[in-house]
Structure 1
Amino acid sequence: MEIHDKYVFGRDKVESKRLDSQHRLLVKVTGNTLIHPTIPTEQIRSVADIATGTGIWLEDVSQFLDTPHIQRYYHGFDISSDQFPDNPGSIHLSVHDLTDPFPREHWNRYDLVHVRLLVAALEEYEYRAAITNIYNILKPGGYLQWEEIDEETYISKDNPVIWELRRCFDYSLTTEGKCFQASAKVYQESQIVGFVDVERLAYDSHQNPDLRLDTDKRLAAIIRTLYARLLWRSGQVDGEEAAARKAEALIELHLGLCDRGCSPSVKLMRVVGRKPFAASL
C-alpha cells in the first residue's frame, strides 16, 4: 500500500478480521441497535451500505430484517473490492467512490443508507459531495445513518494514551486535509444538503462494563494500525519501523493502565437524518 493511499488501513485478511471484530464491538456499544430505533424498519425494502468492507453490517442487517414473504434488496459499495466476501449470498456488491455520483440506476432506490468510519478517508471538502450523493440514492422519506469514531472519542482527563492518540490523529488528519470532527461535519452538511429530523447521538462503552476487555483489545489494535500508519504518513517519525516501535511502546503503556483499572471507553457517534418526502433531485 502506498503511503498516500486514500484508505489508511490495509486490506489483507488480518485487517478484515479486525474489521469484523470491531463491527461486533460497535454494535454492542450501541446497545445492539444495528438500525437506530427511530428508523421504521417495517418500511425498509432496500438498504445500501457505504464503505462496506467485508459486508458484515449488511449481513447482520439482512438477518435482522428477515421476514417471511417480504423480499428486500441489499447493496454494498466500497472504493475497493479487496475485502468483499467470496460468497456474499443475496447481497450485491459494487466498487464505487462515495465522492462520485452513483450510477443513475441507484437514484431514488434505497430506504436506508448506512455509512461507518470514514473519518480517516474523506477530505473535509468531500463531505458535501458525499452526502449529496447519498441523498440522491435515497427514496423520498428514506433514512441516512452515519457512524463515526472521531474527536469526541478521544477525550480524557487523566489518560496519557488517549492524549497522545488525540494529538496524533488531530495533527495527522489535519495535515492530510481531513476532518477529525467528522460526526459534527456530517451533522452540519446533512442539514445543508436537505436532510430533515437530523440527530447526532453518542454511545459510550462504559454503559456496559462487560465490554471492557473488548474495548481494551480494540484500542490496542487501533494503536498498532491507525496510530502507527498516521505517524508515518504525516512525517512524525522516520519510516514504518520507527512508527511500529512507537506504537508498541504506547500499547505497553495502554495495557499497563488497563491492568490498573484505567481502561478508556469507546464512544461511537451516530448521525441520523431523513430525506424529505417532497424531495426532488
Structure 2
Amino acid sequence: MKRFGEALNRSSDETSPIEHAAREFHGYYGSQYALPADDAERQRLLIQHNCLKRIFENRILLVPVALGPDDRVLEIGTGPGLWLLNLAQSVDPAVQMLGVDITPDSFHPLPRTILPADWADTFTLVHQRLLMIALRIHEWPQALREIYRVLRPGGWIQLRECQPYYEGEFPNKPCMEKLVSMYRCLVKSRNLYIDCAADIPGMLKEAGFVDIQVEERPQYMGKWAGEDGAANAANHLAFFRGMKTPILEAGGYGKIATESEYDALVEGLEKEWEEIAGIKREFYIFWARKPESQ
C-alpha cells in the first residue's frame, strides 16, 4: 500500500508540513481516491454504514427485487464489504455475491471502471455507494455503461451518493468554510465528480436505464440532532481528518501551512457543529432497471 508523506516526515525539532504518521492510501490503477485505506478509515466506514442504514429506516435495498438462488449480486467499491455482508443476512443463502474494489486486499481487485468482458448479462443487481471522491468526471458515464452491460435484462442498479459541501455555504462557521474550501481544491485537482448526485438521473437515462427512481434523506450533524446527529458528525469529522495528508502534501492550498493548523480547524469544526445547529447533508439512493428487451 502506498504511503503518502513518508518522504516529508522529519524529526520533531524540524519544521514540516506533515509531522504525523503517514496514513495508507490507494495507489493502484492510477486511483485518485481522496481518502485513506487503513484501519482508521475502515472504522469510519463502519460508522458511515450504520448511519446510512438508520436514516433509511434500516433499509439497505430499495430496489423492488426478490433475490433467489439463480440471482447474482455485484457490489462495486465494496471496501470492507459491509453492505454486501449485511444483504447476505436477509436473502436466500444460495444468492451468489461478489464485491469488487480497486485495492488488492478487497474482495476482488479491479480497475476503476472496466469490468471483465465475460460478465456481460450476468447480475440481477449491482450496488455502488459513495464513489463521488473515487471516480473522475469522465469515468462516471463509463462506469454506468459498464454496469448496464453486466446486468441481466431486467436487472437493477442501486446507487447511493451524498450532496457535497459548497464554498460560501457556511459564513458563520469559519472552520467549516476553510475546510470545505480545501476539500473542494483537492477534489478539483483530481477531477473527482463530487457533484455527481445532481447528474445521476440523466447519466442513468443516457446509459440506457429505465424506471429511474430516487429517495433522499437529510443527515444532521451534531449532538443537537440526537444520537444519529452525533454519529453523523463523527463520520464526517473522520472524513475531514482523512483528507489531512493529501491536503498538506498539496501545500494547504494557501489556507494552512502546518499540521497543527489543520488539526485546529477540525477541532474548531466539531465545536461549530455542537454550538450552531443546522448543518445537514442530503443523502440519495437512486435505482433503475435495465430493460428486458434491448
1:143 aligned partner: 156
Q: Return 242-251 or 135-144, whichever deviates more.
A: 242-251
Deviation at 1:31, TM superposition (A): 2.3
Q: Return 119-128 or 195-204, whichever deviates more.
A: 195-204
Deviation at 1:269, TM superposition (A): 2.3
2:83 corresponds to which of 43, 46, 57: 57
Identical-residue share of aligned pairs (%): 23
- TM-score with structure 2 length normalisation? 0.78
Question: Where do residues 87-106 of structure 1 align in structure 2 (5 Å cutoff)?
Answer: 93-100=107-114, 102-106=115-119
1:103-139 alpha-carbon deviations (Å, 9 max, x no partner): 2332211111111111111111111111111111111
Stretches of structure 2 lacking an aligned partner (at least 5 in a row): 5-25
Q: Aligned partners of 2:161 and 2:209: how far apart in 1? A: 18
Query: Are the structure 2 counterparts of residues 258 and 236 from structure 1 closer, same or farther at C-alpha, using a change threshold of 3 Å?
Result: closer
Query: Are the structure 2 counterparts of residues 71 and 184 from structure 1 closer, same or farther at C-alpha, using a change threshold of 3 Å?
Result: same
2:40 aligned partner: 14
> In 2, are the aligned partners of 1:204 and 1:268 still within 8 Å (CA)?
yes
Once superposed, what is the RMSD of the aligned Cα atoms? 2.7
2:16 aligned partner: none
Deviation at 1:158, TM superposition (A): 4.3
2:209 aligned partner: 195
Q: Aligned partners of 1:150 and 1:205: how far apart in 2? A: 10
Q: Is 1:275 matched up with 2:290? A: yes
Q: Aligned partners of 2:226 and 2:57: how far apart in 1? A: 12
Query: Are the structure 2 counterparts of residues 243 and 28 from structure 1 closer, same or farther at C-alpha, using a change threshold of 3 Å?
Result: farther
Q: Aligned partners of 1:48 and 1:58: how far apart in 2? A: 8
2:248 aligned partner: 232
Stretches of structure 1 lacking an aligned partner (at least 5 in a row): 85-92
Q: Secondary structure of 2:200's match? A: helix
> In 1, are the aligned partners of 2:60 and 2:87 still within 8 Å (CA)?
yes
Q: Is 1:77 matched up with 2:77? A: no
2:198 aligned partner: 184
1:187-242 alpha-carbon deviations (Å, 9 max, x no partner): 2211111111223432112497430111121122112112x24523544358xx94
Q: Secondary structure of 1:177's match? A: coil
The aligned amino acid for 1:20 is L
Deviation at 1:46, TM superposition (A): 1.7
> In 1, are the aligned partners of 2:112 and 2:135 still within 8 Å (CA)?
no
Q: Aligned partners of 2:149 and 2:197: how far apart in 1? A: 20
Question: Where do residues 164-175 of structure 1 align in structure 2 (5 Å cutoff)?
Answer: 164-175=178-189
> In 1, are the aligned partners of 2:163 and 2:281 still within 8 Å (CA)?
no
Q: Aligned partners of 1:144 and 1:159: how far apart in 2? A: 38
1:260 aligned partner: 275
Deviation at 1:177, TM superposition (A): 1.7
The aligned amino acid for 2:242 is T
> In 2, are the aligned partners of 1:205 and 1:266 still within 8 Å (CA)?
yes
2:51 aligned partner: 25
Q: Aligned partners of 1:159 and 1:136: how far apart in 2? A: 45
Query: Are the structure 2 counterparts of residues 164 and 202 from structure 1 closer, same or farther at C-alpha, using a change threshold of 3 Å?
Result: farther
Query: Are the structure 2 counterparts of residues 165 and 272 from structure 1 closer, same or farther at C-alpha, using a change threshold of 3 Å?
Result: farther
- TM-score with structure 1 length normalisation? 0.81
> In 1, are the aligned partners of 2:76 and 2:127 still within 8 Å (CA)?
yes
Deviation at 1:250, TM superposition (A): 1.6
Q: Aligned partners of 1:216 and 1:95: how far apart in 2? A: 31
1:137-163 alpha-carbon deviations (Å, 9 max, x no partner): 111111111112342688557444443
May I ask how many residue pairs the two structures share in their alignment? Answer: 261
> In 1, are the aligned partners of 2:48 and 2:232 still within 8 Å (CA)?
no
Deviation at 1:170, TM superposition (A): 2.4
Q: Is 1:40 matched up with 2:64? A: yes
> In 2, are the aligned partners of 1:153 and 1:266 still within 8 Å (CA)?
no
Q: Aligned partners of 1:64 and 1:263: how far apart in 2? A: 35
Q: Aligned partners of 1:121 and 1:197: how far apart in 2? A: 26
> In 2, are the aligned partners of 1:199 and 1:271 still within 8 Å (CA)?
yes
The aligned amino acid for 1:138 is L
Query: Are the structure 2 counterparts of residues 225 and 152 from structure 1 closer, same or farther at C-alpha, using a change threshold of 3 Å?
Result: closer
Q: Return 208-217 or 155-164, whichever deviates more.
A: 155-164
